[in-house]
Structure 1
Amino acid sequence: MRETYCIFSANYLPNIGGVEKYTQNLAFALEGLDKTVIIVTNNCFDLLSHENISPNISIYRLPCYPLFNGRFPLPKKNTEYKKLLKQLNKEKIDYVSINTRFYPHTFTGVKLAESKDIKPIVVDHGSAYLTFGNSFIDIFVRAWEHFVTALLKRHDIDFYVVSKAGLRWLTNFKITGKGVLNNSIDAKFFHAQSSQRDFRNELGLAESDFIVSFIGRFIPEKGIIPLTEAAKQLQSHTDIHFLFAGDGVLKKTIEEYQLSNVHLLGKIDSNDVAALLETSDCFCLPTRSEGFSTSLLEAAACETTSIITHVGGVDELIPTDEYGVIIGDTSPEIISKAILELYDNPELNKKMAKKIYERVVNDFSWEKTAERTIAACQAANK
């Protein structure tokens, strides 16, 4: 009989984020290994409360209050919520994997696992404190994270992370992680599914123009404002253009810069993301915190050099300066300097892109991560 893996993720598609993509890709990889998967998430988009998204993958969407534009969903424990949990409890479940520590949704997963005498694993996706871009609010967010982690530690749980940086981060909460279940990608498939959308032609850019791309949420921790400041500093280089794909609370702030070399593309699907990365000369993510950036993997899959801060996943994917550019901080001056290094050295850029592409193809597959997840769940329940 097929084993059933229940994955809890506070947010899921169509919300765009690293954890959401991690959950989706892991679910399909587990299905490919002859497992049944149940995804449990919050219904931030008023979608069907329960449906099958694949022959062996179903999803439960629990009613919630989508605080902070859905970034922090709180359970709405109404009649529908209780009905869905009752239905979920009747499911045959062998193992439980929970993404992230600090959501109320995490405890829903723990409670379900304990009711079925299953020891869950919690997979942490961060390498720094969660931030909402407001220093006053962030004080309470940090206190909440410590408080909720202390409560979580009272339960019998095995903790895992998505990068080596995550293991170091967990020690701040006096947690010793059991191992790494790294973010991954089907590199050849991702590259092949490109829409071939011609962004250069759409924006009137020449083939010789140097394109710096950013893909992600327009929020403070992703470093979008320092990157915009770097674009401002590089305006004298009229053949360097910045293409930003995504949306978020800082969109209006970016628009107020009124920079002719910055082009806002809005949200784009994964096919267009591949096309954007293919035409980019480099991908830049001056982020403050990442578990293991999905966009970093996607850039590598499209043979595009990355400029990124030393966050989770970077140690694994960029072990030396032959594979990409790691910047020490997110100051506009440092970002500008890194961009110009690649701009002035096209052959070096090509060599880096080729090296990181070969690395992601050979070492970062979802099948391997799914196999490690299976082993982690089984080890927790020996």
Structure 2
Amino acid sequence: MAPRSYALFSALYPPHMGGVERFTANVARLLAARGNAVTVVTNDTEGQGAGEKDEDGVSVVRLPCHPLVSGRMPLPRPCALRSRLLREVSSRRFDGVLVNARFYAHSITGLRLARAQGLCPVLLDHGSAYLSMGSPALDWLVRRYEDGVTALGRRYDPAYFGISERSAAWLGHFGIEARGVIPNAIDAAAYRAQASARDFRAELGLSAETLLVAFVGRLVAEKGVRQLLDAARDARLAGRDVVFVLAGEGPLALEVAGAAAATPDHVRWAGALGVPDVAALLLQADALCLPTRSEGFSTVLLEAAACGCSPIVTDVGGAREVVAGPEFGRIIASMSADEVVRAVMELDDDRSLVSLRSRNCRERAELFSWNRTVDALERALLTS
């Protein structure tokens, strides 16, 4: 394929960390490695300094913004610098425009630019439910905001895709028919190779026989953190050699620390970990438990699978792609502590499941390569 010029609009981008950020960064780097000119237009959520600079062969344009909700919900900050940067981006001729995702004000900027150049933008949605802030009042406002931005985006008639089958189906809630799936991905071998040398079992005083159930992510209610802690205190696990190791930081960090102090036989908190340490933890864990409320296509599911760490996960985006059957992991019916306990006891009662699921997950992770994802993305960008 001849080199092309692409614009990727993503409200969030590294060093802000999350699934959308990592997806955009990986796609941008691979598109550039294929000889394409790639411009990422994002927001200056981390105070890097608004402007444009080259990052790994990708031109990254950071726009001035108001980084609300710890940067998770950036809103445009109108000013002369923002206007100048957008004029410079608009002056370039693109062959395709990708917009991540449906519910950001930033997305409208990308849709508008694409249509101004006579292009049909590709809008890749990364959700499978409404965003949640953990407050009924805030969640009501967020839903109305999402509805409004989604309706505004539809005026530009983009080609909609989902990051997972569940994400594509969720678009139907808004009366939108997805054209297909452009899935999340991982370089499984590279992810394992960059794991640190930390021995978490030794650090936490766990034996090789301990069933180590990991959680990796933001310590927030929507990820099912409280359900995990309730499961660890469940009487059915008393006397069993099962330990939940939680890695991450967030508003519920004090609750996690308290549970680790009060229930050390079943709960440990590893704190916030960098990527190499997360990989090391997943390589040593027997299962990843993610009783989350919503995901588009959780990156940590792919990271765990690459490490042979089988998932126990709610039926959210990406779950059925990774957990293709009981021989790969366990999809639980709800976020409840009872569902978590029963899935963990199943593993503890039959340790052969650990090795079976580990082998199968590791093999399955190889299907989700970045080359396949970028192939699908380029086809969508050039044919929509």
Name the TM tier (shorter chain).
over 0.9
Deviates further, 196-205 or 186-195: 196-205
The TM-score with structure 1 as length reference comes to 0.95
CA contact (8 A) 1:7 1:98 kept: yes
Q: Does 1:370 align with 2:374?
A: yes
Deviates further, 236-245 or 149-158: 236-245
CA contact (8 A) 1:291 1:312 kept: yes
- Deviation, 1:196, is 2.3
Letter in 1 for 2:83: K
| Aligned partner of residue 217 in structure 1, secondary structure | coil
- Deviation, 1:238, is 6.0
| Aligned partner of residue 53 in structure 2, secondary structure | strand
Q: Does 1:330 align with 2:331?
A: no
Q: Distance in 1 between matches of 2:275 and 2:136?
A: 33
Q: Could you list the per-position Cα deviations for residues 16-60 of structure 1 after superposition, in whole angstroms to 9, with x for gaps in the alignment?
A: 2111111111112222332222111111111143211113x1211
Matched ranges for 1:105-254 at <5 A: 105-233=106-234, 236-237=238-239, 239-254=241-256
Structure 1 residues 282 and 114: CA distance shift in structure 2, 3 A: same
Deviates further, 150-159 or 84-93: 84-93
- Deviation, 1:169, is 0.8
* Alignment correspondent of 1:266: 271
* Cα RMSD, aligned residues only: 1.5
Q: Distance in 2 between matches of 1:269 and 1:90?
A: 38
Letter in 2 for 1:266: G
Q: Does 1:255 align with 2:257?
A: yes
Q: Could you list the per-position Cα deviations for residues 199-240 of structure 1 after superposition, in whole angstroms to 9, with x for gaps in the alignment?
A: 122222222222111111112221111111111226624632
* Alignment correspondent of 1:72: 73
Letter in 1 for 2:379: A
Deviates further, 303-312 or 314-323: 314-323
The TM-score with structure 2 as length reference comes to 0.95
Q: Does 1:294 align with 2:272?
A: no
Letter in 2 for 1:240: V
* Alignment correspondent of 1:34: 35
Gaps of 5+ in 1: none
Letter in 2 for 1:356: C
Q: Distance in 1 between matches of 2:381 and 2:136?
A: 38
- Deviation, 1:132, is 0.6
CA contact (8 A) 1:290 1:311 kept: yes
CA contact (8 A) 1:286 1:309 kept: yes
Q: Distance in 2 between matches of 1:296 and 1:237?
A: 29
| Aligned partner of residue 180 in structure 1, secondary structure | coil
- Deviation, 1:330, is 1.0
Q: Could you list the per-position Cα deviations for residues 307-353 of structure 1 after superposition, in whole angstroms to 9, with x for gaps in the alignment?
A: 00111112222121111111001111110111111122111111011
Q: Distance in 2 between matches of 1:232 and 1:38?
A: 49
CA contact (8 A) 2:115 2:156 kept: no
* Alignment correspondent of 2:101: 100
Deviates further, 158-167 or 242-251: 242-251
- Deviation, 1:376, is 0.3
Q: Distance in 2 between matches of 1:44 and 1:357?
A: 35
Q: Distance in 2 between matches of 1:252 and 1:7?
A: 38
Q: Could you list the per-position Cα deviations for residues 257-290 of structure 1 after superposition, in whole angstroms to 9, with x for gaps in the alignment?
A: 3432322223222211110100101111001111
Query: Which of 276, 279, 282 is the equivalent residue of 2:284?
Result: 279
* Alignment correspondent of 2:13: 12
Q: Does 1:314 align with 2:319?
A: yes
CA contact (8 A) 1:30 1:367 kept: no
Q: Distance in 2 between matches of 1:377 and 1:210?
A: 45
Deviates further, 205-214 or 101-110: 205-214
Q: Distance in 2 between matches of 1:156 and 1:238?
A: 55
- Deviation, 1:80, is 1.9
Letter in 2 for 1:243: V
* Alignment correspondent of 1:379: 383
Q: Distance in 2 between matches of 1:33 and 1:8?
A: 19
* Alignment correspondent of 1:356: 361
Deviates further, 33-42 or 329-338: 33-42
Q: Distance in 2 between matches of 1:174 and 1:370?
A: 27
